[in-house]
Structure 1
Amino acid sequence: MADLHFELVTPDKQVMSEDVYMVVVAGTEGQEGIMAGHAPYMTVLKDNEEVAVYRTAGGQPERIAVSGGFAEMGANGLTILAEKAGE
């Protein structure tokens, strides 16, 4: 069931805004798999890494290159504010 609301935003555009199963974020403390119900979380993104977006359980991830910024898990879901994404 896809029930984690995920937004990926850069200063120029909104890259993605949809409900997904899980997102794997490469933060400065390592990789973290974020699913609905995850505890509040914040990390600085590692430069030149990928975010892996799983739309369904067991599905293949969509990989999106990101550079700079941070990720925050809160009551409204997971938001990634990146300096650059998808390039």
Structure 2
Amino acid sequence: MLHFELVTPEKLVRSEEVHMVVVPGTEGDFGVLEGHAPFMSTIREGALQIFRTAGGEPETLAIHGGFAEVNDRGLTVLAERAG
């Protein structure tokens, strides 16, 4: 499972284990699974798609600007606003 955190300047919005997250990057959408290579990207206004299980329906969460970082601990999305 992938450790996923969504953080805004006000609070930690999410911290959970998920199957995959699709992030609206400024260069295009990208999916992150467990074991993804280290990566950093700016994000555009759009929707995170959070897949709790393989083949499951995604939960969609609106985000507005910020950064996404993938490292050995998982995926962290630092959004200007979420929801």
- Using the size of structure 2 for normalisation, the TM-score is 0.97
Whose strand proportion is higher, 1 or 2?
Answer: 2
Distance 2:33 2:12 in 1: 21
- Counterparts of 1:3-82 in structure 2, within 5 Å, are 3-47=1-45, 49-82=46-79
Off by >2 Å, runs of 4+ in structure 1: none
Task: Give 1:11's aligned amino acid.
Answer: P
Q: Which runs of 5+ in 2 are unaligned?
A: none
Distance 2:56 2:10 in 1: 29
Task: Give 1:14's aligned amino acid.
Answer: L
Question: What secondary structure does 1:57 align onto?
Answer: coil
Instruction: State the Cα RMSD in Å.
Output: 0.6
For the pair 1:84 / 2:44, whether they are aligned, the reply is: no
Deviations along 1:26-61, one digit per CA (max 9) or x if unpaired, are 1011011100011111110012x0000000000010
- Using the size of structure 1 for normalisation, the TM-score is 0.93
Count of residue correspondences: 83
